[in-house]
Amino acid sequence: MVTATEIQPAVHAPRHVTAIVTGAARGMGRAMTLGLAAAGVRVAAADLPSSRAEMDELLDTARRQGVADNVFPVDCDVTRWEDCAKAVQAAIDRFGAVHGLVNNAGIRVLDADLTKGGRHGRFYEHDTETWRRVVETNIVGPFQMAKAVAPVLVAQGWGRIVNITTSHSTMVAQSFSPYGPTKAAMEAATVIWAKDLAGTGVTVNALLPGGAGNTRMIPQADVPDRSTLIQPEVMMAPIAWLMSAASDGVTGRRFIAKQWDPALDPAAAAAKAGAPAGW
């Protein structure tokens, strides 16, 4: 396990951080984009062209909050290598540099995607192409984005990769495949990538809400009272810290957003909410 002491703080931390957030138009991605922008991070907000209406709403909100200059929309399908490479270049072209990646884009199987039964059908009831699409989005996509950005981060000696994962209980919940296994894969990838990048000034960590979030992943019919779910805004404080120079040297860890106490100093909040990634 890579520990914080195995990576030395970067000598040249950037004055202004630029980050790419995938799946930025909705849910957790939207909240993290706005939270980062409010913290002064310049964000390349990446999402599918089909999410243009939601992206426009995000940009409107950014304007109302006075952070529009920090948010730049980028069309990106993370399952396409060309799109991932172009998203990294778009961030550099717009802001002059790129320093971080938030691998947030993800999907799960819905009722209509099963060959029979409902959303809680057994693994062999899944349509093969739908299964493959989830894996392509949730595993191949984050890998491609990290592959595209990592050489830039390593070359400049400072960078951040944050993988959005899920609770261990969700990873192994009955009938939660392929979503659960894909998030387990990203938890393992977090540990491996952190080891691969040890000593470069680039850190890799996992961030998760810590329970069912108020996003489209949880259908309205399943939970009519959305106040009982974890609100996406809990991701704002930890992602801002993870993308800052204050988290220099912290790598190979997972942070549970609902355990982040904003009343504490950020370093103390991180210690409370964090643990080694993996098992």
Q: Which residues are catalytic?
A: 179
Q: At residue 259, what is the residue type?
A: Q
CA distance 61 to 59: 5
Name the nearest CA neighbour of 244 among 184, 182, 123, 160: 160
